[in-house]
Amino acid sequence: MSETSKGILLDAVGASLNDLAKQGVIEQDKVDSFSTPLYFAEENELKQIIEENGRFTIQAFEDIIHAKGEFTLDPKVLAVSCRASF
């Protein structure tokens, strides 16, 4: 996940927390116990969930690829994305 903008952002948060622990601002145990649960369903799992629900029909299932590929890692874009995501 580190190749994506969200992954890079989460890596930066983790590195920042570790730096704060090294400086004694926060306890390392708190950093070690910090968890942001993320789960990304596999395609077949998502299809199964949708079909089992019975209220939806899958007419098409395609990957969405942004026209420009991966977004740029501009700090301003990352900050706005982070605010929108969390």
Tell me the pLDDT of the chain averaged across its residues: 81
Helices 5-22 and 75-85 cross at an angle (nearest 10°) of: 90
Where are the chain's structural domains? Answer: 5-85
Percent of the chain with pLDDT over 70: 74
22-48 confidence digits (pLDDT tens)? 999 999 999 999 887 777 788 899 999
pTM tops 0.75, yes or no = no
| CA proximity to 21, closest of 9, 8, 33 | 33
CB-based burial, 29-68: b 16+ in 10 Å, e otherwise:
eebeeeeeeeeeeeeeeeeeeeeeeeeeeeeeeeeeeeee
Q: What share of the chain is helix, strand, coil (3-state, %, to 5)?
A: 55, 0, 45
